[in-house]
Chains A and B, each alone.
Chain A
């Protein structure tokens, strides 16, 4: 079942990532963490389908925000992140997936671990928590190449100040001056210092490129988290689909 979404706003998050706000008629409200499939069809009938996580909080207005990172050799993401204009229409399928989701009735501590644009579905969870007035303790460990590559940075800053979100950035390439940790991949020390201890029984959501998720999930398990409490969403090569 494909729906038509109209682009109502565009917002650049970084030099290579753009948030696309869509209004979709007859859309079922999503649950934080879900994704949509976007289908683009060329005049000759060739079509390409890609999955994108929803960034916005669940709502009943048919409003869906997607943040799309431009991939250098991408077939779809350059169009979505550069050429798409307000008023354009996109075909959408969804909302999709009932596993990598955070529901507002969950009260246990939540550990979010993002690698790069893996922040997108986790941001939907953070926004959903705020919209619902949930008191669930949230921590976010956000691994990102450099400060300029951070999505939603002002909003995240405000959430740490006003909403009790605990946030740790882990820079992999360039860190700000005087940053306590030298740039590098996430490691055991970081997991120990920046995530909920396993004895608090948190549910962990890990999203990022496959290699990042692999490392992050292994580190969480090594620090005592039960594998069944770790939910993962990998993204990476999807090939071409019709």
Chain B
């Protein structure tokens, strides 16, 4: 129904899947793209979910930031596309 270039969502949409692994909300963390060096909130990444798992791409250079695949009771997370994630830990009461 939509064209390929519009097949993505925002990083926000991965918050539920990522909450299975991380204690803090990754989508509000600042992350640096390992490819182009852009630093943005993870919520601003482009998220592709119509695949086996979740792929987040940099909103600027479109390179892969994160891949998360869950098969039965095993989750495989590839974060090699991000140089770092920076969290505000004052929200950690959740």
Contacts and interface: CB of A to CB of B under 8 A. Distances in A.
Contact of B16 (A49, A99, A209, A234): A49
Contact of B91 (A98, A234, A238): A98
A97 B27 contact: yes
B30 to A, nearest CB: 11
A100 B43 contact: yes
B28 interface: yes
A76 to B, nearest CB: 14
B10 A233 contact: yes
27 contacts: A28-B94, A35-B12, A35-B16, A37-B16, A96-B15, A96-B16, A97-B25, A98-B25, A99-B11, A99-B12, A99-B28, A99-B44, A100-B12, A210-B7, A210-B8, A210-B9, A211-B2, A214-B6, A231-B43, A235-B13, A236-B2, A236-B9, A237-B1, A238-B49, A238-B50, A239-B49, A242-B70
A232 interface: yes
B10 A232 contact: yes
B24 to A, nearest CB: 9
Nearest to B7: A237
Contacts of B12: 35, 97, 99-100, 233
Most B C-beta atoms less than 10 A away, residue of A1, A209, A237:
A237
Nearest to B51: A239
B85 to A, nearest CB: 14
Interface in A201-242: 209-211, 214, 231-239, 241-242
Given A234-B13, A235-B13, 12 more contacts: A35-B15, A37-B16, A94-B16, A97-B12, A97-B25, A98-B27, A98-B91, A99-B12, A232-B10, A237-B50, A239-B49, A241-B49
Q: How large is the interface on B (under 10, 10 to 19, 20 to 34, 35 or more residues)?
A: 20 to 34
B80 interface: no
A134 interface: no
B44 to A, nearest CB: 8
A93 interface: yes
Contacts of A210: 2, 6-9
Q: How large is the interface on A (under 10, 10 to 19, 20 to 34, 35 or more residues)?
A: 20 to 34
Interface of B: 1-3, 6-13, 15-17, 19, 25, 27-28, 41, 43-44, 49-51, 70, 91, 94
B41 to A, nearest CB: 6
A172 interface: no
Contacts of B13: 51, 233-235, 238
A231 B41 CA distance: 11
Contacts of B44: 99, 232
Contacts of B10: 100, 232-234
Contacts of B25: 97-98
Contacts of B11: 99
